[in-house]
Amino acid sequence: MTYKIENYQRDLETRLAPPELQKIHPLGKSPVITDGNVLIHESGAIVDYIIRKYGNGKLAPTEDSGDYEKYVEWMHYAEGSAMLPILLRLYTSRLGDAAAPLMPRIDGETANHFSFMNKEMKGREFFAGDALSGADIMMSFPLEAVKAAGGLAQLPELSAFVDRIQARPAYLKALEKGGEYAYGPKTS
């Protein structure tokens, strides 16, 4: 599959999208893909679209597979649940001391979700089934972000998962093509 990556620099203070990205999608969402006349702006929808259109039967279990429902669950969990405590921490980090009343809840949700994921990965290489899938691709970003901030030190299954993902030739090729990226402020 041939593709082109375009990087857009968000405003460093506000983190808002530049006008060039808003021309592609009015919300200034990132990531966003265009494929012919198709425009998609949600990560899960993007991964699903690419797998269905270009996956050639790879990266997703078949619907009649015993792994399919877990696959769908983890595909949605990545942004629906795993990202929530990360985003809460990101947004409240801008509040300074005013965030203090929220931190016990954020810390509790972070511990709850990440210990759950760590337990689910015990003895497993992938989130759904015995092969890399879109669920692993979706789960990689929140886990990479937390690992980059040092937040997976006590979660060995998740830390090892990130290491495996980051060692994959396709991951390394994508970084080579698109460049390194930053994950944002520290989370725990």
pLDDT by 10-residue block (mean), the chain, 188 residues? 86 88 90 95 96 95 96 97 94 94 95 97 96 98 94 97 97 90 54
> Is residue 86 included in any domain, yes or no?
yes
Query: How many whole angstroms separate alpha carbon 119 and alpha carbon 116?
Result: 5
pLDDT of residue 183: 66
Q: What pLDDT, in 10s, does the model give residues 42-96?
A: 999 999 999 999 999 999 999 999 999 999 999 999 999 999 999 999 899 989 9
pLDDT of residue 123: 96
> Is residue 149 included in any domain, yes or no?
yes
- Domain containing 150 equals 68-172
Q: How many domains does the chain have?
A: 1
> Is residue 29 included in any domain, yes or no?
no
Give the CATH number for residue 164.
1.20.1050.10
Query: How many whole angstroms separate alpha carbon 93 and alpha carbon 129?
Result: 36
Structure tokens at 129: 């089934």
pLDDT of residue 14: 84
Structure tokens at 156: 């060995």
> Is residue 41 included in any domain, yes or no?
no
> Is residue 143 included in any domain, yes or no?
yes
pLDDT of residue 29: 84
> Is residue 138 included in any domain, yes or no?
yes
What phi and psi values does residue 98 have, to the nearest 5 degrees?
-65, -20
pLDDT of residue 185: 42
pLDDT of residue 44: 97
